[in-house]
Chain A
Amino acid sequence: MAQDQLSATFAALADPTRRAILDRLSEGEATVTELAQPFDMSLPAVSKHLKVLERAGLIRRSRESRWRPCTLEAQPLSEALSWVERYRRFWDASFDRLDDYLAELQKGDPDGRPS
């Protein structure tokens, strides 16, 4: 996955309004007016958030329809999750070793001080 895509995904997610919009879209497509409804925000302000999400590839907007409903694109989110998984593997392996190493260090030393 390109670094720029990952940066764009995380940057787009770093805003509560945009996360709420994605949450709404996870239930199905919606128009800008529908998306703006729960927020105390002008339509142009909501459109700005939608543009960020669209640029990051997290949503798709229909070009044909007059109402241009928005739909969620799950692929970049899924790639962001696999980025997290790489780190999980690193730490899980490390902590298994740390467990063994701590046991070795504390052998015969009730205070647990490394020699």
Chain B
Amino acid sequence: MDVQAETKTHELVIERRFDAPPELLFKMWTEPEHIVRWWGCPMMRANKVTNDLRVGGGFRSEMTLEDGVEHTLFGTYREIEPPTRVSFTWTWENETMGRGYETLVTVMLAADGDGTMMTLRHEFFEDADMRDQHNEGWTASVDRLSGIVAEG
């Protein structure tokens, strides 16, 4: 199992290899019966997932943590290209904190021998403009800044 991760200030990129074909990984990401088996933070006790798998369709995940606190996670599918790519918006909501930021999750799946190399990008954006600017890519300056901040 390979784990590579890179942190920039605005996004999280995680690369990871799984011993399963892309078709199976795609099901893991898009079918509620599978999603409930693995999504969630370390504190998660139960997860109820519903979705409408089409571009513009929504999903909803109601998670109960070990301490009984409930978190809802919801979003809208932006891209669905089986078995290589799925992207969706992602917003948290709970009773005490209210609604969180809208973020964007993009999952890319590439066959790698008998397995799959998965790249997950989770990025912050406020609106379409900002997302597009993010897609232009970030300069090396931010990478260096991140390094400076991490050291400081």
Task: Report which A residues bind B (CB closer than 8 A).
Answer: 3, 6-7, 9-11, 13-16, 19-20, 22-23, 26, 74, 77-78, 80-81, 83-85, 87-95, 97-99, 101-103, 105-106, 112-114
CB-CB contacts below 8 Å: B93-147 with A: 100-101, 103, 120, 122, 124-126, 130, 133-134, 136, 138-139, 141-142, 144-146
Cβ-defined contact, B144 with A97, below 8 A = no
Residues of the A chain whose Cβ atoms lie less than 8 Å from the Cβ of B138: 19
Distance in angstroms from B139 CB to nearest chain A CB is 6
Cβ-defined contact, A10 with B38, below 8 A = no
Cβ-defined contact, A81 with B38, below 8 A = no
What secondary structure prevails in chain A residues at the interface with B? helix
Known: A94-B39, A102-B18, A114-B34. A83 touches B124 (CB 8 A): yes
Interface range on chain B: under 10, 10 to 19, 20 to 34, or 35 or more? 35 or more
Residues of the B chain whose Cβ atoms lie less than 8 Å from the Cβ of A81: 7, 9, 146, 149-150
Closest to B98 in A: A3
Distance in angstroms from A27 CB to nearest chain B CB is 10
Distance in angstroms from B74 CB to nearest chain A CB is 15
Known: A88-B7, A88-B12. A7 touches B126 (CB 8 A): yes
Residues of the A chain whose Cβ atoms lie less than 8 Å from the Cβ of B19: 102-103, 106
26 pairs from A and B in contact (CB 8 Å cutoff):
A3-B100, A6-B101, A9-B9, A22-B141, A22-B145, A23-B144, A23-B145, A74-B148, A74-B149, A77-B145, A77-B146, A78-B149, A81-B150, A84-B7, A84-B11, A87-B12, A88-B12, A90-B41, A91-B12, A91-B14, A95-B38, A97-B37, A97-B40, A101-B34, A101-B37, A101-B38
